[in-house]
């Protein structure tokens, strides 16, 4: 972790730059995958599973028998933990339902807005060394609540062609029946364009590697929506002398272990705390199974000491972190000044990992500075808001002349006539 003591404000912008994502260099390869899937459909998915996952698939779909066989493989302890997380995520997202409110903007003119679930959605869940069944909960629960008619889950198979048992158990709990054995850009292509057996979806959700990220961004230019631009995971921790250095180090490493391109940032008003945190990081990282990954991430990470916590918060707002931890004595004061962050964790006993799994908030969050203009996934991500309006003849007589004048001023005479013909015809 590189350290910076009291950098001047004009130097902050350079310090908050993320490592450059070279997605443009991946586009040609991703386009080849797109072309193959569009040309050969399911056969392309089987071919690419053999190439990238070393799996010899007979079918691209998980069978009911595979799901049934997976359920006993999940320990009762883990099932109980998933149940607790599911309950909290469900409760938090249920509260986001928006009731229909009819508004009479003037006498006889009634307007309202209704939330309607996106009809077909695709959920991409990474597999490999960290099968993210927690992300399936974060995406599947709001999709359930929104009433999405069709949910396709795509996740890469292991070399024996199987899907992680906990992912299958979680999908079963969520009522997701269609589980596609596909990873990488080919999974995004299948859900975006459709194949012989995979229906094309309207919106794609979920994290992934750089190829998945590039593929998701590319399909947005082809009429398919995505949850948000995504990049490597990140956390920024603001801490003062009331913080426990061991707690802070654990929070930093909880993000660093995600991947070698993850970024962690520590900001404090205490040089002594910075030294203690660095020592705690060295001690804890040596004990992690993913030590090599975490150490690579730490090479991209920084520790900054500034004069005040207010400066630290201003630095954080400039960085716009995916996760912001306020490990300070009075987090409520700083929290009120947060303007740019994906999700905020307040106080010494609110580790970011609780939000990742079970507190109820969604962990699918904007990264790479997109917290400046994107929200994390919520119930709203899975619905469209459709507006309605209804007028009586009397109200059209009152509002119509204003519409006629405005339409004529814009030179749109057919617009004007749509009102005039109603007002003049008896």
What residues act catalytically? 322-323
CATH number at residue 86: 3.40.50.1980
Q: Are residues 164 and 89 in the same domain?
A: yes
Q: Are residues 334 and 251 in the same domain?
A: yes
Q: Are residues 8 and 62 in the same domain?
A: no
**Cα dihedral across residues 376, 378, 382, 383: positive or negative:** negative
Q: What's the domain count of the chain?
A: 3
Q: Are residues 210 and 339 in the same domain?
A: no
Give the pLDDT band of residue 23 (cuts 50, 70, 90).
confident
Q: Is 233 labeled as ligand-binding?
A: yes
In a domain, 369, yes or no: no
Q: Which of 317, 339, 360 is the last residue of a domain?
A: 360
Q: Are residues 28 and 130 in the same domain?
A: yes
Structure tokens belonging to residue 257: 């272990």
For the entire predicted model, the pTM comes to: 0.94
Mean of pLDDT over the chain: 96
Q: Is 323 labeled as ligand-binding?
A: yes
In a domain, 387, yes or no: no
Q: What is the mean pLDDT of residues 383-400?
A: 98
Q: What is the pLDDT of residue 389?
A: 98
Give the pLDDT band of residue 22 (cuts 50, 70, 90).
confident
Q: Assess contact for 124 and 155: CB atoms under 8 A.
A: yes
Q: Assess contact for 344 and 338: CB atoms under 8 A.
A: yes
In a domain, 339, yes or no: yes
Q: What is the pLDDT of residue 21?
A: 67
Q: Are residues 69 and 209 in the same domain?
A: yes
| pLDDT surpasses 80 at 258 | yes
In a domain, 381, yes or no: no
Q: What is the mean pLDDT of residues 85-100?
A: 97
Q: Are residues 166 and 52 in the same domain?
A: yes
In a domain, 372, yes or no: no
Q: What is the mean pLDDT of residues 98-125?
A: 97
Domain residue limits at 403 = 392-424
Q: Is 246 labeled as ligand-binding?
A: no
Q: What is the mean pLDDT of residues 88-114?
A: 97
Beta bridge partners of residue 182, listed in sequence order: none
Q: What is the pLDDT of residue 92?
A: 98
Q: Which of 360, 376, 410 is the last residue of a domain?
A: 360
Q: Are residues 32 and 12 in the same domain?
A: no
In a domain, 365, yes or no: no
Q: Are residues 60 and 195 in the same domain?
A: yes
Structure tokens belonging to residue 150: 């069709």
Q: Is 42 labeled as ligand-binding?
A: no
Q: Are residues 268 and 319 in the same domain?
A: yes
Q: Are residues 123 and 204 in the same domain?
A: yes
Q: Are residues 246 and 210 in the same domain?
A: no
Label residue 176 exposed, middle or buried (CB < 10 Å: 0-12, 13-18, 19+).
Answer: buried
């Amino acid at each position: 972790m590189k350290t910076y003591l009291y950098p001047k404000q004009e130097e902050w912008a350079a310090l908050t730059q993320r490592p450059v994502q070279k997605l443009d260099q991946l586009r040609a390869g991703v386009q080849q995958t797109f072309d193959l899937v569009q040309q050969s459909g399911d056969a392309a998915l089987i071919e690419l599973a053999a190439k990238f996952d070393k799996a010899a698939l007979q079918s691209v779909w998980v069978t009911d028998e595979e799901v049934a066989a997976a359920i006993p493989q999940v320990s009762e302890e883990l099932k109980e933990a998933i149940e607790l997380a599911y309950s909290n995520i469900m409760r938090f997202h249920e509260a986001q339902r928006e009731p229909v409110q009819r508004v009479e903007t003037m006498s006889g003119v009634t307007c309202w807005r209704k939330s309607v679930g996106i009809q077909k959605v695709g959920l991409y869940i990474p597999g490999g060394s960290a099968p993210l069944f927690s992300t399936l909960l974060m995406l599947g629960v709001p999709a359930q609540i929104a009433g999405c008619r069709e949910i396709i889950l795509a996740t890469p198979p292991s070399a024996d062609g199987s899907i992680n048992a906990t992912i299958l158990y979680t999908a079963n709990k969520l009522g997701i029946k269609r589980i596609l054995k596909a990873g990488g850009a080919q999974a995004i292509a299948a859900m975006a364009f459709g194949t012989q057996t995979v229906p094309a979806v309207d919106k794609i959700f979920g994290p992934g590697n750089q190829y998945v990220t590039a593929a998701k961004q590319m399909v947005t230019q082809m009429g398919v929506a995505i949850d948000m631009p995504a990049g490597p995971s990140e956390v920024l921790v603001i801490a003062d002398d009331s913080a426990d250095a061991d707690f802070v180090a654990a929070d930093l490493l909880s993000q660093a272990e995600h991947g070698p391109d993850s970024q962690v940032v520590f900001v404090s008003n205490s040089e002594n705390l910075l030294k203690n945190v660095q020592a705690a990081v060295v001690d804890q990282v040596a004990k992690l199974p993913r030590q090599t990954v975490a150490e690579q991430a730490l090479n991209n990470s920084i520790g900054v000491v500034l004069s005040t916590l207010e400066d630290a918060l201003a630095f954080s707002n400039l960085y716009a972190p995916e996760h912001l931890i306020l490990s300070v004595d009075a987090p409520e004061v700083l929290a009120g000044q947060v303007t740019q962050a994906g999700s905020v964790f307040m106080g010494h006993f609110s580790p970011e990992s609780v939000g990742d799994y079970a507190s109820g908030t969604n962990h699918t969050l904007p990264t790479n500075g997109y917290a400046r203009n994107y929200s994390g996934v919520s119930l709203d991500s899975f619905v469209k808001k459709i507006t309605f309006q209804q007028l009586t003849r009397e109200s059209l007589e009152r509002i119509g002349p204003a519409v006629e004048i405005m339409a004529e001023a814009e030179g749109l005479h057919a617009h004007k006539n749509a009102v005039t013909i109603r007002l003049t015809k008896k």
